[in-house]
Amino acid sequence: MEQATFPRASAPESLALRELQAAREIAQAFLTADRPTEVYRLALERVSALIGAAFGCVFLRAPGDPDPGLFRVVAAYNWPQAYAVYLSEMRVRSGNGPTGRAVAENRIVEVFDIFADPALEDWWDSARELGFSSSVSLPVTLRGEPIGAITFYFRERDELCEGDRSLLRLVADQLSATAEKAHLIDDLQRANARLREQNVELEARYHEAEEARRLKGEFLANVSHELRTPLTAILGYTYLLREGLSGALADEQAAAVEKIETAGTALMGLINDLLDLTHLRLGRTPAEPEMCDAVALSRAALSTLPPPPPHLEVRTEFPGGPVFVYTDPGQVVRVLRNLLSNAFKFTATGTVTLRVRTVDIGPRGGFDEFREARSSSVVWEVEDTGIGIAEEDQERIFDEFRQVDGSATRRYGGTGLGLALSRGLARQLGGDVTVRSAPGEGSLFTLALPAARRA
């Protein structure tokens, strides 16, 4: 017959201490165990020994089970080996038997004598075989909702003292917390697994995109190279025609040849820029740094440019002596040429100024030579009084093929690749190209590079 309470017995002090010890061990297991079953098993083992239970089982709802009213054994203590299979197949339905009722009613259910309760007749055979006659079941809850129960089985009609009962309540709470933790860990593991899968997929997509980018680069490099060869021949023969080496040309013929030459030269410029940019992106234009003089590099860039238009004054503002910079001289000249030729192109009248100066980034003094050198930059400024660039276009012009005004190609010529290439080269050298500008007032393009070798 099921009883509302067990006869009380006062716990000797040593037992209370052992109960406390068990509660501590279970709490410890809760904090450190990797799997919830470890906590369930420890709880069953320790508590069974303390309250004199012969066996114990933890029943929980199977995750993913379509029937939420069925519970199976997730941990057992001292269950006879011969009945192990029976245990693994055992299912308890919510509301049925003491365990099922503990779940359904979300309360402790104590059965003092199984054989005295005809409602438990189904149990009698197994109880006789296994040798138990009473039980106590406690609900295990998840966020307040019962999701299973822990049941202890006793051989004798045991009496539980108040200490035992509070230990049982403590253990039930601990197991509920364990179920909660297991649930959270499950959620976390599922989320982690999803993240891992997404990562693998992203990684694969990244590699595909990288490969596609590389192939596009290879293709562009090959096509550009193949275009350059016949174009060189076309320009060569055009030159011969223009120079009259194949006989004098009539005016009309000379005008046609000039048009071919202009178009051919523009095309050659585009192909060269495209090839350079592609090689830079493919990492085939490594920097070859050496100690240089920034002023000498500026002069070299100016000297290789065609003379500026007649109404344009070109000024230079250089420090008195050399300005040392550890960089790739060819690549710096390339960037300066691009910036200067743009300044010439977009300034009909006025001035273009090329300036060199050093900038101290960090505090000076008190540092060793190496850190002091690292703290300064060399800056080239190309300032013009030309058409200027609107605020919203100032970042876009560094994109490939990007010109402020699409019709600019026709008006000013150019490919829209110069600034993309210049910035790419500058960044490869550890610096950058930036712009400050106002429409109608002019532009200031800055190439800033570290003065000394980067650490």
Binding stretches for ligand ADP (CB under 6 A): 338, 342-343, 346, 384, 386-387, 389, 397, 403-404, 408, 414-420, 443
Q: Which of 301/417 has CB closer to ligand ADP? A: 417
Strand order in the sheet with 145-154: 2-3, 109-111, 134-142, 145-154, 55-61, 70-77, 91-93
Report, in Å, the least distance between residue 205 CB and ligand ADP.
30
Q: Give ∠ CA 138-140-144 in degrees, rounded to 5.
A: 120
Token pair, residue 234, equals: 């076309």
Q: Which of 137/285 has CB closer to ligand ADP? A: 285
- Classified as helix, coil or strand, 203 is helix
Report, in Å, the least distance between residue 198 CB and ligand ADP.
38
Burial class of residue 189, CB neighbours in 10 A (0-12, 13-18, 19+): exposed
Report, in Å, the least distance between residue 206 CB and ligand ADP.
28
Report, in Å, the least distance between residue 422 CB and ligand ADP.
7
Q: Which of 99/443 has CB closer to ligand ADP? A: 443
Report, in Å, the least distance between residue 449 CB and ligand ADP.
19
Identify how many contiguous H helices and E strands the chain contains and give both numbers: 12, 14
Contact 150, 43 (CB under 8 A): yes
Report, in Å, the least distance between residue 300 CB and ligand ADP.
19
φ, ψ for residue 139, nearest 5 deg: -70, 145
Q: Which of 99/342 has CB closer to ligand ADP? A: 342
Contact 326, 363 (CB under 8 A): no
Report, in Å, the least distance between residue 443 CB and ligand ADP.
4
Q: Which of 389/449 has CB closer to ligand ADP? A: 389
Q: What one-character-per-residue DSSP string does 48-87 give? A: HHHHT-SEEEEEEEPTT-S-TTEEEEEEEES--GGGHHHH
Q: Which of 268/408 has CB closer to ligand ADP? A: 408
- Classified as helix, coil or strand, 444 is strand
Return the beta strands (E) in 213-368 as ranges.
290-293, 312-317, 324-327, 350-360
- Classified as helix, coil or strand, 380 is strand
Query: Identity (one letter) of the amino acid at 85?
Result: V
How many other C-beta atoms lie within 10 A of the C-beta of residue 157?
13
Contact 269, 275 (CB under 8 A): no
Burial class of residue 445, CB neighbours in 10 A (0-12, 13-18, 19+): buried
Q: Which of 210/399 has CB closer to ligand ADP? A: 399
Report, in Å, the least distance between residue 322 CB and ligand ADP.
27
Q: Which of 231/249 has CB closer to ligand ADP? A: 231
Report, in Å, the least distance between residue 413 CB and ligand ADP.
7
How many residues are given for the chain?
455
Report, in Å, the least distance between residue 355 CB and ligand ADP.
15
C-alpha pair distances (Å), 417 with each of 28, 71, 139, 342:
66, 70, 73, 11
Q: Give ∠ CA 243-246-250 in degrees, rounded to 5.
A: 70
Report, in Å, the least distance between residue 389 CB and ligand ADP.
5
Distance between start and end Cα atoms, the chain: 84
Report, in Å, the least distance between residue 266 CB and ligand ADP.
10
Q: Give ∠ CA 338-344-345 in degrees, rounded to 5.
A: 85
Q: Which of 133/437 has CB closer to ligand ADP? A: 437
Q: Which of 16/408 has CB closer to ligand ADP? A: 408
Q: Which of 201/405 has CB closer to ligand ADP? A: 405
Q: Which of 76/447 has CB closer to ligand ADP? A: 447
Distance CA 445, CA 41 (A): 73
